[in-house]
Amino acid sequence: METNTAIMLSMLIPAGATLTNLILRDRANLRDGVTLAAAIATFLCVLSILVNVGNGTTEAFALFEILPGLDLAFRVEPLGLLFAIVASGLWIVTHLYGVGYMRGNNETHHARFFASFSLAIASVMGIAFSANMFTLFLFYELLTLSTYPLVAHKGTPEAIRGARTYLGILIGTSIGLQLVAIVWTWSITGTLDFTKGGILSGHIAGPMVAVLLALYAFGIGKAALMPFHRWLPAAMVAPTPVSALLHAVAVVKAGVFTMLKVGIYIFGIDFLAETGASVWLMWLAAFSIIAASVIALTKDNLKARLAYSTVSQLSYITLGMALATSMGVIGGGMHIAMHAMGKITLFMCAGSIYVATHKTNISQMTGLGRAMPITFVAFGVGALSIIGLPPLGGSWSKWLLVLGAADTGQWVMIGVLMVSSLLNVAYLLPVVGKGIFLKPDDGEVTSWKEPSFLVWGPPALTALGCLVLFFFGGALQDFLAPLVTSN
Amino acid sequence: MAAEPVHQTAISLADHLPVLVVLIPFLAGPLLVLLGSRRLNWPIAFLASGAAFVVSFILLTKVIGGGFISYHLGGWAPPLGIEYRIDAANAFVLLLVTGVSTIILPYAWKSVRHEIPARHHTLFYALFLLCLTGLIGVVVTGDAFNVFVFLEISSLATYVLVAQGSYRDKRALSASFDYLIMGTIGATFFVIGLGLLYMATGTLNMADLAERIADQGSNRTIRAAYAFIVVGIGLKVAIYPLHLWLPNAYTYSPSAVSAFLAATATKVAIYVLLRFTFSVFQPAFTFEVNTLRYLILPFAILAMFAASFISIFQKDFKRMLAYSSIAQIGYMLLGISMLTEAGLTAAIVHLFNHGITKALLFMGVGAYVMRSGGSFLRNIEGLGRVMPLTSAAMVIGGLSLIGVPGTAGFVSKWVLVQAALETGWWPVALMVVASSLLAVIYVWRGFEALYLRAPSAEIAGGDAPLSMLVPIWIMALACLYFGLHTDLTIGAAQTAAQGLLAGSTGMQ
């Protein structure tokens, strides 16, 4: 398949799945089957791009001009391709899980749910393959809007409140700050194309570089940099498949992906390093890492704890960009994949526990591991990957980030990464420990068992994925290498 | 700038286009009343409006590259005779006015039947056409006094059209009366200004006025005339503190009328403001006296925030949209106050984009009114499920109002922010985006009511009838189309802005 066709299909197939979901709203099995086929087809399209292009970069192709000089244009480059592979691959797993979860949990409005879900994936593909900041912004907003119905899904006052926070922060930052940053960039450089080495060098100097970077960094609200992280815990009112794919993988990764794109292709790593404009961002990211981890410790609700853990992990990637060194950038890019695999496992396990027992708080889960061994073992594997222990995927990205920090002589940052790992241990492992090794408080546990295969199977699979990724660490590093090598 | 050759005697139909666009609806209106046929009233009105739209489109294609067409009424050469003069600025506004009316008329067919007793239908359509005539006339004419005449034709027709809402809600009568008083004050100010100009220059032809004003420099009479005209038109534009007539008029008039007025009336007034400020009084005068910027800029910003805030607290969807219109007019005035090409382009682009967005939203609310009997937020609760197609179009309109990428509203916002940054007004750029976030709040109140509440049991019928859905969706698709293809909008607006900024050279 030709690459450009594959790019278009990878967006059009999920968008088409949105329509089939709405049209086949009353025929549940057919509807979910078609969506599964769409998910597999999308993944295959992305794989065909991988086969064709490898870690190369294609020429941008423009669909049409939107504003004078600004095209709706797409291209393939390693970071975007990696993001597309992660998101489309995990969509298949999550769709199966979603079907099991929504049915097992007697949720309503399935058609609307899966329609919005597919549209969100289409937006993610658009973000991954966009050739300029303008196109990216377009899909970035579409992603916010298409996930809103998912957060508000239950329609309870609590869900509506959460959805308001979600929308308010994401739209507020993107229109209020990011849009200004983009127009500003456009008006001083006359281009928004993603160009290796950046487009800003020579057009802007002095403290204004840091101001522009701040508009971008805070404007990309999906990266959940403190103090604009509140939307992420608020989004946890959504059904768990949403939290798993969108709020641990697609949406938040779209945020940090945009952050990396801006760092690499708009500012340019060398330009950032020369001007030192990103030093403040590095410290803020470090603060986010530690602060969010500490907050996670205090949360008893499992999903809330995982949400704060995500906030913390996202800042790893922002930190990688802000270090403005090649190791940091590659480590950040790799962390997109590694954290995705680990965190989706954790969320799906949380959902699995909820479907089986309707328990949401960690304090109620004592001894549950005996009744649900697969779920708890998968959770443990995911947790160890997040912590960054070999032989699991998460260890590589953390290792590269530490190397990046050492490169620039930021010893404090190495300390931050280490402390954060310890905090990860402190808030993730007790869940597994209490679940498996402690005895349940009363006898009720005997009545519980693993829910249907569709619910426990996907997390088991992704847990396995964490293990497999460990052996592909070097390959991934080579794959992302073109991001930082000069032509 | 290459001028079309001036024809002393117009020989073909094509040469008569500038007057035809006015004459068609002007003659069709009385014809409806004379025929008095309830079966023919709508078809004739629709045909007349459609013909005017086609003519406008042809005119725009002729002038979009720059230049203008001058038409001498009755063959009398200006400045003695009345001249119609078409350039990119007015052809573009003309396209908006006739386009919106042609799309709204099919919508009006069912909506009017539902809201107005049958015996008044013929008069309704006749007045609708007269209102259209007035708006078209204001736009095409190159004669200052003629502007006043047509402005009054459209205004008088509008007062009656607004009052037609009284069959649904009696408050339409007082709304109409308010509008009558305020509109008349505005028209009086305007005509006093014209009188002063005539006294000082002895002419009423715009191009001629421009030359003579330039010759005289600015003296007190001319300044006074300028002040009267800006305030008079300001009332029609609904510049923030002069907006009091607008919310009630939009809220209580029949749905089709709300949609038509919101999309066209204030936009035409903005055009008149532009025409007088730049073509008649000249940029040099405007820049030198420079009152415009310091008057309009603060009021524009005030409108953007105050009207948006008020909008957030409305319980009636139509009234919410009305206040939002006042806020959006603020954006257009903001663009004008920059006095740069980019700023004027932004203002004209937004004039068009907001016109189609608001037409869509008001039509959608009209469909809700038809099904649920009211436009309050509590009336529309849960209608997202009952009327999925109408509501999906409303979502597009709402997003365009906010300025989400991919919609017409985003294009406006982009060019406006860019213009502000180019002018060096970065705090203003931030204010534009900040105030558009207020739009998120009021639009989302509507969305939540539509989709996240249970529908009330009394609602009769399903989605809106096809004759309403099609116009609604044409507008919705237009909102998306002009959000992704800006050749027409930005192209025409840029040519228009260049022509306006060229001052009297743009008039010759």
- CA A31 to chain centroid, in Å, comes to 26
From A142's Cα to the closest Cα of chain B, the distance in A is 8
Residue B108 lies in domain: 13-507
Check pLDDT > 80 for residue B457: no
Instruction: Give the integer Cα–Cα distance in Å for B212 and A291.
Output: 71
Helix (H) / strand (E) element for B72: namely: strand B69-72
Q: Which residue in the set A138, A149, A164 is minimally distant from B405, CB to CB?
A: A138
Higher pLDDT, A451 or B101: B101
From A332's Cα to the closest Cα of chain B, the distance in A is 28
Higher pLDDT, B190 or B462: B190
- Are the beta carbons of B444 and A167 separated by less than 8 Å? yes
Tokens of residue B73, six digits: 């009424």
% of chain B beyond a pLDDT of 70 = 94
Q: Which residue in the set A145, A184, A186 is minimally distant from B404, CB to CB?
A: A145
pLDDT, averaged across chain B? 87
Q: Which residue in the set A72, A138, A186 is minimally distant from B418, CB to CB?
A: A186
- Terminal-to-terminal C-alpha distance of chain A: 27
With respect to residue B498, please indicate whether it lies within any of the assigned structural domains.
yes
- Are the beta carbons of A172 and B440 separated by less than 8 Å? yes
Find the closest chain B residue to A161 by CA distance: B448
Q: Which residue in the set B406, B433, B444 is minimally distant from A138, CB to CB?
A: B406
Instruction: Give the integer Cα–Cα distance in Å for A216 and A281.
Output: 11
Which pLDDT tens digit goes with each residue over A35-65?
889 999 999 998 888 888 877 788 888 888 8
**Which of B421, B431, B442, B481 is most worth mutating to test chain A (most A CB atoms within 10 A of its CB)?**
B421
With respect to residue B35, please indicate whether it lies within any of the assigned structural domains.
yes
From B434's Cα to the closest Cα of chain A, the distance in A is 6
Using DSSP's 3-state secondary structure scheme, residue B424 falls into coil
**Which of A66, A71, A174, A191 is most worth mutating to test chain B (most B CB atoms within 10 A of its CB)?**
A66
What does residue A63 show for φ and ψ, rounded to 5 degrees? -80, -55
Check pLDDT > 80 for residue B66: no
Check pLDDT > 70 for residue B152: yes
With respect to residue B162, please indicate whether it lies within any of the assigned structural domains.
yes
Give the type of residue at A482: P
Q: Which residue in the set A145, A155, A177 is minimally distant from B452, CB to CB?
A: A155
Q: Could you tell me how many CB contacts below 8 A there are between chain A and chain B? A: 71
Give the range with max mean pLDDT: A366-370, B68-72, B123-127, B200-204: B123-127
With vertex at residue B409, the alpha carbon angle to CA B162 and CA B470, rounded to the nearest 5 degrees, is 60
What does residue A67 show for φ and ψ, rounded to 5 degrees? -115, 155
Check pLDDT > 80 for residue B293: no
- Residue B482's pLDDT band (cuts 50, 70, 90): very high
pLDDT at B134 (0 to 100): 94
Instruction: Give the integer Cα–Cα distance in Å for A90 and A88.
Output: 5
Q: Which residue in the set A67, A168, A183 is minimally distant from B411, CB to CB?
A: A67
pLDDT at B286 (0 to 100): 67
Instruction: Give the integer Cα–Cα distance in Å for A127 and A121.
Output: 10
With respect to residue B3, please indicate whether it lies within any of the assigned structural domains.
no
Check pLDDT > 90 for residue B169: no
With respect to residue B126, please indicate whether it lies within any of the assigned structural domains.
yes
pLDDT at B115 (0 to 100): 87
pLDDT at B7 (0 to 100): 46
From A49's Cα to the closest Cα of chain B, the distance in A is 27
Residue A311: name the closest of A426, A397, A223, A250 by CA.
A223
- Are the beta carbons of B421 and A167 separated by less than 8 Å? no
Instruction: Give the integer Cα–Cα distance in Å for A141 and B405.
Output: 7
- CA B152 to chain centroid, in Å, comes to 15
- CA B17 to chain centroid, in Å, comes to 22
Find the closest chain A residue to B406 by CA distance: A138
Instruction: Give the integer Cα–Cα distance in Å for B136 and B149.
Output: 12
DSSP alpha helix (H) spans, A223-301: 231-234, 240-245, 251-261, 269-275, 279-298
- Compute the average pLDDT of residues B13-24: 85
pLDDT at B288 (0 to 100): 67
How much is the pTM? Answer: 0.89
pLDDT at A445 (0 to 100): 53
- Are the beta carbons of B405 and A145 separated by less than 8 Å? no
Q: Which residue in the set B415, B422, B429 is minimally distant from A180, CB to CB?
A: B429
- Are the beta carbons of A183 and B404 separated by less than 8 Å? no
- Compute the average pLDDT of residues B162-173: 89
Give the relative orientation of helices A78-104 and A326-357 as an angle to the nearest 10 degrees. Answer: 10
From B30's Cα to the closest Cα of chain A, the distance in A is 44
Using a CB–CB cut-off of 8 Å, the residues of B that contact A are 399, 402-406, 411, 413-415, 417-418, 421-422, 429-430, 433-434, 436-437, 440, 444, 448, 451-452, 483-487, 490
Number of domains composing chain B: 1
Contacts of B449 in chain A (CB under 8 A): none
pLDDT at B239 (0 to 100): 86
Which pLDDT tens digit goes with each residue over B231-271?
999 998 988 888 888 999 999 999 999 999 999 999 999 99
Residue B402 pairs with which residues in a beta bridge?
none
With respect to residue B38, please indicate whether it lies within any of the assigned structural domains.
yes
- Compute the average pLDDT of residues B328-339: 90
- Compute the average pLDDT of residues A4-24: 87
- Residue B3's pLDDT band (cuts 50, 70, 90): very low
Tokens of residue B496, six digits: 């228009």
- Residue B499's pLDDT band (cuts 50, 70, 90): confident
With respect to residue B284, please indicate whether it lies within any of the assigned structural domains.
yes
Check pLDDT > 90 for residue B398: yes
- Are the beta carbons of B485 and A187 separated by less than 8 Å? no
Find the closest chain A residue to B491 by CA distance: A68
- Are the beta carbons of B484 and A66 separated by less than 8 Å? yes
- Residue B287's pLDDT band (cuts 50, 70, 90): low
Query: Are A302 and A361 within 8 A, CB to CB?
Result: yes
With respect to residue B2, please indicate whether it lies within any of the assigned structural domains.
no
- Residue B508's pLDDT band (cuts 50, 70, 90): very low
Using a CB–CB cut-off of 8 Å, the residues of A that contact B are 64-68, 72, 137-138, 141-142, 145, 149, 152, 155, 160, 164, 167-168, 171-172, 175-177, 179-180, 183-184, 186-187
Helix (H) / strand (E) element for A124: namely: helix A110-129
Contacts of A176 in chain B (CB under 8 A): 430, 433-434, 437
Find the closest chain B residue to A188 by CA distance: B422
pLDDT at A136 (0 to 100): 93
ipTM of this predicted structure:
0.84
